[in-house]
Structure 1
């Protein structure tokens, strides 16, 4: 059974953000799968944990650029939540590198945090961004990319 399934209610309707969220879920599942082995391979756990920390950091940067681009008023609070999670994830990585194990409590936290963050915090910015784009008359999907020069 999959530790963290990807139900359709996690889709925000922003294709690049949804794809990133799906990748984060896949990394969490890969970490859980390795930890669920009778004898987890520390090298694999470390590699997946490092990938999770790096990918999450990059995803947060993309979201924050999107907030800045469209003037999202809750950006400060949302960014602070990103910072708290990044600190927690880095602490796990540093403790793991110091010889500690990643436990099921950490896995439960990852699952709960990401589900809550997508369903509550991320879902909250979607209507604002859609309205900001419509108001600006900007065609196309919500993006974190800079507008192209014409």
Structure 2
């Protein structure tokens, strides 16, 4: 069983966003699988960096939709993106300094993805759809 199974509940109904969320969940599971095996610190670092890069690109997609649709809660949503980015950057930095942060990263990713998708992202769906997204 996957560390973080993808379920229909995690879908927001906007194809591009769902595809990106699915990739993030899949990569979180790949990080978990690597940690369960004999992954070297360099492999863990590559997975963390890939997750960070992709997450930043995902945020850009969402934030572009905020601007295009004049989303009224974009400032609060952006603040959550910034907080998460700083948390992941801190984990990456600590990893590069030799600290074992894999389990902490997994828990952060799982908790954040589930909360962010189910609560924060689903809150924008109606607004985006009424402005042509989806």
Which category of TM-score, normalised to the shorter sequence, fits these structures?
over 0.9
1:67-119: per-residue Cα shift (whole Å, max 9, x none)?
00000000000000000000000011111111111242331121011000000
- TM-score w.r.t. the length of structure 2 is 0.95
Segments of structure 1 that go 5 or more residues without pairing to the other structure are: 134-141, 144-150
- Distance between the aligned counterparts of 1:78 and 1:53, measured in 2? 18
For this pair of structures, how many residues does the alignment match?
134
- Distance between the aligned counterparts of 2:14 and 2:45, measured in 1? 30
Segments of structure 2 that go 5 or more residues without pairing to the other structure are: none
- TM-score w.r.t. the length of structure 1 is 0.85
- Distance between the aligned counterparts of 1:106 and 1:19, measured in 2? 22
Between the two structures, name the one with larger relative contact order (CA 8 Å, sep ≥ 6). Answer: 2
2:6 corresponding residue in structure 1: 6
Runs of 4+ in 1 over 3 A off after TM superposition: none
Q: Once superposed, what is the RMSD of the aligned Cα atoms?
A: 1.2
1:86 corresponding residue in structure 2: 85
Larger Rg: 1
